[in-house]
C-alpha cells in the first residue's frame, strides 16, 4: 500500500476517535465548582379554609308606630253627634264645618250630622244649641255676629259668652276689605280718605248688619279724622253686597278677603285696602289700613269657632278639642282651606287663647257700637 495513503487513513482514524469522546474540549485551567444546593421552592403557608360566618338574620320590618291619639272618656261617644250651623248651607262657615265633621267622625267612630238653622242673625241656632243637653253630643259653629255682636246689641237675647266653651278655630281669620267699581273716582286709600271727609252722604254695602265687616268699617271711619260715617246697608252675605256694588246701589262694598280676591284678580273690581293690621294672605299686593296708622283691626277679624255648652264635662271638652285639632293638623284639611280661599293656619290656637281674643273683641265691639249709636 502506498505510504501516503496509509498516512491519510491513520489521520482520519484519529479524528474520528476525538469526536466520539465529547464533541467539545473542557477548560482544565479552572477547577470545576460543585453546583450550589438550593432549598426546594415551597407554597406559602395559608390559613386553613373555614366556613364563612352566617350573617345575623335581619329583623322583620314593621310599620312605624303612629302617635297615640287622644284618649276618649269612658263610654264616649256612644251615639251620633249633631253639629249646629247658624247660617245657610253652602256658606263658608257651613262648608268648613262639614269638612271638619268628615274628618272628626273618622276619629270618633260615630256619624256627625250638620244642621243648618238660620234666622235672627245667628241667634236662633245658638239658642237651639244651648237648649240641648250638655253631654258632648251637640256642637255649634260660632261666627262673629252670633258670638259677639248680637249679645252686645241685644242683652235679652238669651245667652252670653259665659254659656259656652270655645274649642277651636275651624278656619283662619278672615279680613274685611273695601272694594269699589273700576270706574269709581276712588282709586287708592288716600282717595277713599278724601272721599269720606268731603262727602256728607254716601252708602256702602255690608254682608250682614253687625258682622265683623260692618264693625271694621265703623272702626275705620271712626279713626279717620273728619270722616263722615255714611250709611251702611246690609245685604244677604258677600254675594249680595258685591252685586249691589256692581249695580251702582252703593259707593263701595265691604267684602271678605277670601271672597273678593277672585273678582279682583279677574279685573272685575278694584279692592283698595284690607281692614287689617297686615296684608291679606290672598291679596298680598293690597295695602292694609294698619300701614296707615289705623289700630286694633285684627280684633275685628272674622272668626269661625267650634263650641259646646259651658257645662259639658271637662273630659269630653278636652277630648273633642284634641280630636278637632288632630283633624285641623292634617294635610287634607290644610289643602281644603287653601282650595276654598281660607288661607292657612300659622299655628293651632288653644281654647284659652281663643277665649282671650274673643273677650278682648267684646270690649272693642262695645266701644264701636256705642259710638255708632247702635247700642
* C-alpha torsion 326→330→333→335, nearest 10: 160
Beta sheet of 164-169, edge-to-edge order: 112-116, 81-85, 138-143, 304-309, 164-169
Beta bridge partners, 343, equal none
Q: Where are the beta strands (DSSP E) in the chain?
A: 81-85, 112-116, 138-143, 164-169, 176-180, 203-206, 231-234, 252-256, 270-275, 304-309
pTM of the model: 0.73
Query: Residue 162 carries which DSSP code?
Result: G
- Within 8 A by CB and 6+ apart from 56, the residues are none
pLDDT at 55 over 70: no
CB 129 within 8 Å of CB 309:
yes
For the ranges 40-44, 54-58, 223-227, the lowest mean pLDDT is seen at 40-44
Range 229-241 burial, b when 16+ CB lie within 10 A, else e? ebebbbbebbebb
Range 70-88 average pLDDT: 95
pLDDT at res. 236: 80
Percent of the chain predicted with pLDDT > 70: 82
Distance CA 131, CA 134 (A): 9
Q: What is the mean pLDDT of the chain?
A: 85
Model pLDDT, residue 249: 97
Phi, psi (deg, nearest 5) at residue 326: -65, -40
Contacts of 349 (CB under 8 A, 6+ apart): 168, 169, 357
Predicted confidence band of residue 26 (pLDDT cuts 50, 70, 90): very low
**Residue 18 pLDDT > 60:** no
Using CA atoms, how far apart are residues 370 and 123, in angstroms rounded to an integer? 21
The pLDDT value given to residue 67: 55
pLDDT reading at 63 higher than 50: no
Grid cell locating 191:
282717595
pLDDT digits (tens, 9 = 90+) for 137-183: 999 999 988 999 999 988 899 999 999 999 999 999 989 999 999 99
One-character DSSP codes across 37-63: P-PPP-PPP-PPP-PPPPPPPPPPP-P
Q: Taking a C-beta distance cutoff of 8 angstroms, is the pair 312, 68 a contact? A: no
DSSP class of 72: P
Among 46-60, 143-157, 285-299, 310-324, whose mean pLDDT is lowest? 46-60
pLDDT at residue 372, rounded to an integer: 81
Which is more confidently placed, 38 or 171?
171
Q: Which of 172, 182, 230, 170 is nearest to 206 (CA)?
A: 230
Q: Which three cell numbers stand for residue 318?
A: 278636652
Taking residues 368-373, report their average pLDDT.
86
Q: 281 pLDDT exceeds 80?
A: yes
Check: CB of residue 249 under 8 Å from CB of residue 148.
Answer: no
Most confident range, picked from 23-32, 154-163, 187-196: 187-196
Across 77-86, 195-204, 299-308, least confident range:
299-308
Tell me if 147 sits within 8 A of 283, measured CB to CB: no
Average pLDDT over residues 75-102: 94
Which residues have a Cβ under 8 Å from the Cβ of 144 and sit 6 or more positions away? 211, 212, 215, 302, 303, 361
Residue owning grid cell 269657632: 305
Selection from 173, 142, 147, 149 nearest residue 162 by Cα: 147
Taken in order of first residue, the domains within the chain and their CATH numbers are 81-173+303-371 (3.40.190.150), 176-300 (3.40.190.10)
What length does the chain have?
375
Compute the distance between CA of residue 329 and CA of residue 42 in angstroms, rounded to an integer: 76
Task: Check residue 189 and give its pLDDT.
Answer: 98
- What span, in angstroms and rounded, lies between the C-alpha atoms of 89 and 91? 6
Distances (CA, A) of 71 to 92, 102, 306, 313: 31, 20, 20, 15
If you average pLDDT over residues 71-88, what whole number do you get?
Answer: 95
The 10s digit of each residue's pLDDT in 223-254 is 999 999 999 999 988 899 999 999 999 999 99
Report whether 154 contacts 210 (CB < 8 A): no
Amino acid at each position: 500500500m502506498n505510504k501516503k495513503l496509509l498516512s491519510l487513513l491513520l489521520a482520519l482514524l484519529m479524528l474520528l476517535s476525538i469526536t466520539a469522546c465529547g464533541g467539545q474540549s473542557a477548560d482544565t485551567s479552572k477547577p470545576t465548582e460543585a453546583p450550589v444546593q438550593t432549598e426546594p421552592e415551597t407554597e406559602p403557608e395559608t390559613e386553613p379554609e373555614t366556613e364563612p360566618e352566617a350573617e345575623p338574620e335581619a329583623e322583620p320590618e314593621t310599620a312605624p308606630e303612629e302617635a297615640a291619639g287622644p284618649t276618649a272618656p269612658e263610654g264616649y261617644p256612644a251615639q251620633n253627634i249633631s253639629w249646629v250651623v247658624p247660617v245657610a248651607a253652602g256658606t263658608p262657615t257651613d262648608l268648613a264645618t262639614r269638612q271638619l265633621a268628615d274628618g272628626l267622625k273618622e276619629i270618633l267612630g260615630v256619624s256627625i250630622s250638620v244642621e243648618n238653622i238660620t234666622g235672627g242673625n245667628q241667634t236662633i241656632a245658638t239658642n237651639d244649641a244651648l237648649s240641648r243637653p250638655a253631654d258632648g253630643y251637640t256642637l255649634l259653629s260660632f261666627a262673629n255676629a252670633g258670638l259677639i255682636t248680637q249679645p252686645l246689641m241685644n242683652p235679652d237675647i238669651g245667652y252670653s259668652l259665659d254659656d259656652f266653651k270655645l274649642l277651636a278655630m275651624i278656619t283662619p281669620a278672615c279680613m274685611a276689605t273695601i272694594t269699589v267699581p273700576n270706574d269709581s273716582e276712588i282709586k287708592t286709600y288716600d282717595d277713599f280718605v278724601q272721599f269720606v271727609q268731603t262727602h256728607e252722604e254716601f252708602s256702602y254695602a255690608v254682608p250682614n248688619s253687625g258682622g265683623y265687616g260692618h264693625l271694621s268699617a265703623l272702626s275705620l271711619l271712626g279713626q279717620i279724622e273728619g270722616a263722615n260715617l255714611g250709611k251702611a246697608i246690609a245685604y244677604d252675605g258677600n254675594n249680595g253686597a258685591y252685586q249691589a256694588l256692581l249695580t251702582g246701589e252703593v259707593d263701595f262694598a265691604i267684602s271678605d278677603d277670601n271672597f273678593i280676591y277672585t273678582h279682583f284678580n279677574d279685573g272685575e273690581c278694584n279692592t283698595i285696602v284690607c281692614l287689617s293690621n297686615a296684608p291679606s294672605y290672598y291679596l298680598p299686593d293690597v295695602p292694609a289700613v294698619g300701614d296707615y296708622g289705623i289700630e286694633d283691626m285684627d280684633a275685628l277679624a272674622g272668626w269661625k269657632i267650634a263650641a259646646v255648652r259651658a257645662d259639658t264635662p271637662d273630659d269630653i271638652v278636652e277630648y273633642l278639642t284634641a280630636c278637632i285639632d288632630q283633624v285641623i293638623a292634617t294635610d287634607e284639611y290644610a289643602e281644603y282651606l287653601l282650595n276654598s280661599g281660607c288661607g292657612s293656619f300659622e299655628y293651632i290656637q288653644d281654647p284659652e287663647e281663643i277665649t282671650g281674643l274673643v273677650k278682648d273683641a267684646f270690649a272693642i265691639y262695645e266701644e264701636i257700637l256705642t259710638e255708632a249709636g247702635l247700642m
